């Protein structure tokens, strides 16, 4: 295989002209993707289709090179069918299913071609599964010719869970193939949360764009809003004031702290260890309330705005924020340390739901779950944007890939985020907090990456001749990580499913969009 370098290189939130993105022959596209991902330790950030006329879909590949932080863009045109990339580029497996569902393009010989969201094809009259035009599409009811993964044999049984689960949680559907307690495989299906956000973004930005970004995954409001805002700032050739960038970075860490703390509590609850469950439930609220102190909303809605932030932090508030983080840091550390020193907790955490690093790399699992298997990646360090270019946060990894590792990486990240806030919150750069954004670049494409609490939040925007969005692609880390949960459940007792699920704690709506 020859190494092909003809993709255009760019960096986080630095748009390029669409005309500069090389459109290559399909074979070259596939080989270039495969070699970038293999030889340069790369990641597939996004792979998506954009319609080009009635018969053609242009497939864009967005890659991240290991340690250089360079984002590569290239494209190829495909017709109604093309040979599936997944055969050579395994990270493409879920993306190709999405392309098939959205544009009715069939990736031939895809190992497991099924819908992922259960909506009608966006190409009129073309459906990858030849479903009847106008016929009802029911969520998780498989189109003809496809089925759930099945294992046959005496005493094999299937367990189906969801969409409505036994808790306050979003809907999804889980199928286990079991022998007694033993799980052979888990297959996860989505689509119940599909709200059609990407389609609505086209033609924007408009007055509804920001609220849609903040609700892509409500627990990642800051992450998604920041990814969007820095992207249109790049397209509008404006740099948000440094003070605003620092406030965004602080809010991002508060979001990480709240969610990681909640996750540690939930993990404790799933193994019946109530002290940490109780404490973390409350401490999570302390972090959310710290966000509300800054902007009035516990999830940070309205804080991150195009061109800067909607709320400044004055000196007394910065001191108050620092004090609150210090107190919550003490409390969450105490609550977490109980877990590591309680043998009955550790017995359940260690060796449960292990995902090896090779699987993480092959399937493109990312973020916190990846770092827990030793995958040393963090967009805050690898592709820094905003204030992370000036104030670094050490990357936390662990090597065991089990529930313990996913809990412990959260614990480590809590320590780092608290230290960051305690050091940086009281000394914000001087200046204003918001700037106007001019007209967006026309016929451009930009990629934005933010390390949200689950992992890299990736937004790709394309503008048309009017400087409005002609296409918008969102890749929440959950989109890439749900397969990691399915892998974690292989050869596990089904009773460990809730624990494994919490250790990933992925977003349903972030996947379904």
Partner 1 sequence: MLSVIRERWRQGHRTIAYPAGDLPVLPDRYRGLPCVDGAKCPSECRACADVCPTDALRFDAGVRIDMGRCLFCTDCTSACPEGAIAFTREFRTAARTRDALVTDGAAFPLARAVDAKSRRLFGRSLQLRQVSAGGCNACEADINVLATPVFDLGRFGIKVVASPRHADGIIVTGPVTANMRLALEKTYAAIPDPKCVIAVGACAISGGPFAGHDEQHGGCEGILPVDLHIPGCPPHPLTILDGILRWLGRIESSGAPTIDRDSNHSCGTLSTDTHAISTPYRP
Choice between 258 and 488, CB closer to partner 1: 258
CB of 192 to partner 1, least distance (A): 5
Q: Which of 46, 45, 19, 26 is nearest to 4 (CA)?
A: 26
Choice between 12 and 209, CB closer to partner 1: 209
Which positions lie near partner 1, rule CB under 8 A?
A: 117-119, 138-139, 163-164, 166-171, 191-197, 199-200, 207-208, 210-212, 215-219, 221, 262, 275, 278-279, 281-282, 284-285, 289, 292-299, 301-302, 310-311, 331, 334-335, 337-338, 341-342, 507-509
Choice between 393 and 433, CB closer to partner 1: 433
Choice between 161 and 362, CB closer to partner 1: 161
CB of 34 to partner 1, least distance (A): 34
Choice between 285 and 464, CB closer to partner 1: 285
CB of 302 to partner 1, least distance (A): 5
d(CA 235, CA 139): 37
Q: Residue 10, Cβ neighbours under 10 Å: how many?
A: 20
Answer left, alpha or beta for residue 364, where phi above 0 means left and psi between -120 and 50 means alpha: left
CB of 262 to partner 1, least distance (A): 8
Choice between 76 and 259, CB closer to partner 1: 259
CB of 512 to partner 1, least distance (A): 8
CB of 175 to partner 1, least distance (A): 16
Q: Which of 453, 444, 399, 510 is nearest to 222 (CA)?
A: 453
Three-class SS of 106-165: EEECCCCCCCCCCCCCCCCCCCCCCCCCCCCCCCCCCCCCCCCCCCCCCCEEEEEECCCC
Three-class SS of 192-261: CCCCCHHHHHCCCCCCCHHHHHHCCCHHHHHHHHHHHHHHHHHHCCCCCCHHHHHHHHHHHHHHHHHHHH
Choice between 138 and 358, CB closer to partner 1: 138
CB of 295 to partner 1, least distance (A): 6
Dihedral over alpha carbons 403, 404, 405, 410 (to 10 degrees): 100
């Amino acid at each position: 295989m020859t190494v092909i370098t003809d993709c255009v290189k760019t960096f986080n939130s630095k748009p390029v002209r669409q005309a500069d993105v090389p459109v290559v022959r399909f074979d070259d596209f596939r080989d270039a993707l495969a070699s970038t991902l293999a030889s340069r330790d790369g990641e597939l950030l996004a792979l998506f289709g954009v319609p080009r006329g009635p018969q053609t879909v242009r497939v864009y590949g967005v890659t991240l090179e290991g340690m250089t932080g360079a984002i590569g863009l290239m494209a190829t045109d495909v017709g109604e069918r093309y040979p599936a990339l997944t055969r050579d580029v395994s990270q493409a497996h879920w993306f190709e299913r999405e392309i098939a569902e959205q544009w009715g393009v069939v990736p031939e010989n895809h190992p497991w071609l099924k819908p992922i969201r259960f909506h009608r094809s966006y190409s009129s009259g073309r459906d990858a599964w030849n479903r009847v035009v106008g016929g009802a599409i029911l969520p998780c009811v498989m189109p003809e010719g496809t089925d759930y993964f099945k294992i046959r044999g005496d005493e094999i049984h299937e367990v189906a869970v969801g969409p409505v689960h036994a808790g306050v949680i979003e809907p999804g559907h889980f199928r286990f193939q079991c022998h007694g307690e033993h799980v052979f495989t888990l297959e996860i299906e989505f689509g119940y949360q599909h709200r059609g956000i990407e389609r609505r973004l086209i033609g924007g930005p408009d007055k509804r764009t920001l609220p849609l970004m903040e609700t892509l995954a409500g627990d990642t409001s800051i992450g998604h809003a920041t990814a969007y805002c820095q992207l249109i700032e790049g397209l509008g050739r404006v740099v948000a004031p440094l003070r605003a960038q620092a406030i965004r970075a602080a809010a991002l860490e508060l979001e990480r702290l709240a969610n990681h703390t909640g996750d540690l509590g939930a993990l404790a609850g799933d193994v019946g260890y109530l002290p940490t469950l109780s404490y973390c439930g409350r401490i999570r609220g302390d972090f959310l309330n710290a966000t509300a102190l800054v902007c009035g909303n516990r999830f940070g809605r309205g804080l991150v705005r195009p061109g800067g932030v909607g709320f400044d932090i004055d000196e007394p508030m910065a001191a108050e924020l620092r004090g609150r983080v210090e107190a919550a840091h003490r409390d969450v550390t105490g609550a977490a340390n109980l877990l590591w020193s309680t043998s009955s907790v550790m017995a359940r955490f260690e060796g449960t739901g292990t995902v090896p690093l090779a699987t993480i790399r092959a399937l493109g699992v990312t973020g916190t779950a990846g770092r827990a298997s030793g995958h040393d990646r963090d967009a805050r360090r690898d592709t820094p944007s905003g204030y992370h270019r000036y104030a670094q946060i050490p990357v936390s990894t662990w090597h065991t890939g089990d529930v313990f590792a996913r809990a412990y990486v959260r614990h480590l990240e809590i320590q780092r985020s608290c230290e960051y806030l305690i050091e940086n919150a009281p000394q914000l750069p001087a200046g204003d907090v918001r700037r106007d954004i001019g007209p967006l670049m026309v016929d451009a494409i930009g990629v934005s990456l933010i390390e949200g609490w689950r992992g890299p939040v990736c937004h790709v925007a394309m503008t048309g001749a009017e400087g409005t969005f002609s296409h918008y692609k969102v890749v929440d880390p959950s989109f890439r990580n749900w397969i990691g949960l399915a892998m974690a459940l292989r050869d596990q007792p089904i009773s460990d499913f809730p624990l494994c699920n919490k250790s990933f704690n992925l977003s349903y709506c972030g996947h379904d969009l």
